[in-house]
Structure 1
């Protein structure tokens, strides 16, 4: 599938190429603070990932969570168990050991409590339902969430970039398309600053 001028990764091979390209964009557009956190090897190789997660690690994480990951996330983890250096307000895509249900995290508990109070004062909303059911796969000031209650025909889960500070939620058909949009946003911001 083609969006915003590039291919969205689907397979592990696609992810390898995409992530090196993504890392190159990140290195090229990083501000002083972001660049200072990169090693010389990362700057040269454009690889901001880790070792791949093996099938046992992925399966153990799925068992811990009681689900099977969507195909795009499985392919990503088979290439790198996490990714540092994400554009926008995301610090990292979590490794298997840190992927969890949002409701099981301190931030998630707090967000659910805040939005549940607001929901009591108004009509029920989709955001609180998302916060209660979502898997958090990336974090920073914002969060990347996957919604297992909304599965696409290809098995992908609907992905969300949620900004808790503003209560803003952007929806994407899949994790891969959210990641791709992040790359396009980095490019767009860099071009607007030139």
Structure 2
């Protein structure tokens, strides 16, 4: 039996805990069912989880090869926890699974003209009113890419140090809306 000489890395970000709280809050019928255009599917409510199974290392490696870059740690761990996610707020329809993530210039060329064509588009909203982007041009010492919240009704890009910071802020905003 062979063993890897590399140390086993523990998750740095508490994604499962955060996302489980978010799922429980969204799925509380007293608090949010009336905010949704259509209710969450029965299987989502039964599982009490708005996500999917996590992406395996092969899927993440293929995404990184397609992009030509290593993903930032917090986003990489997010994908390992859940390969896609339903609604973070009423503005964001879903976070994309690894197979649908891509450069803004390729997925939303019109958006790239007023942001930057080097950002990574990681969310989807049918009417394209709001989105989450990751900016590989601004990177922390830990390898985190700057995360952006962009919406047509605001004149600025709201910037966060990392995807983890963006999602925690979005969760806090979601909770305040209750």
What residue is the counterpart of 1:7 in the other structure?
none
Task: Compare relative contact order (CA 8 Å, sep 6+) and give the higher one, 1 or 2.
Answer: 1
Equivalent runs, 1:157-172 vs 2, <5 Å:
157-172=145-160
Q: Normalized against structure 2, the TM-score is what?
A: 0.83
- Post-superposition shift, 1:177? 1.0
Where does structure 2 lack aligned partners over 5 or more consecutive residues?
1-9
What residue is the counterpart of 2:17 in the other structure?
17
- Post-superposition shift, 1:110? 1.4
Superposition CA RMSD, Å: 2.1
SS state at 2:27 partner: helix
CA contact (8 A) 1:85 1:91 kept: yes
SS state at 2:71 partner: coil
Paired positions, count: 164
SS state at 1:133 partner: coil
What residue is the counterpart of 1:62 in the other structure?
64
Deviations 1:115-135 (A, max 9, x none): 3xxxxxxxxxxxx4xx22100
- Post-superposition shift, 1:35? 7.2
CA contact (8 A) 1:12 1:76 kept: no
Aligned partners of 1:13 and 1:156: how far apart in 2? Answer: 12
Aligned partners of 1:13 and 1:165: how far apart in 2? Answer: 31
CA contact (8 A) 1:158 1:171 kept: yes
Where does structure 1 lack aligned partners over 5 or more consecutive residues?
1-9, 116-127
- Post-superposition shift, 1:22? 1.1
- Post-superposition shift, 1:170? 0.7
What residue is the counterpart of 1:90 in the other structure?
92
Q: Decide which structure has greater helix share.
A: 1
Q: Normalized against structure 1, the TM-score is what?
A: 0.77
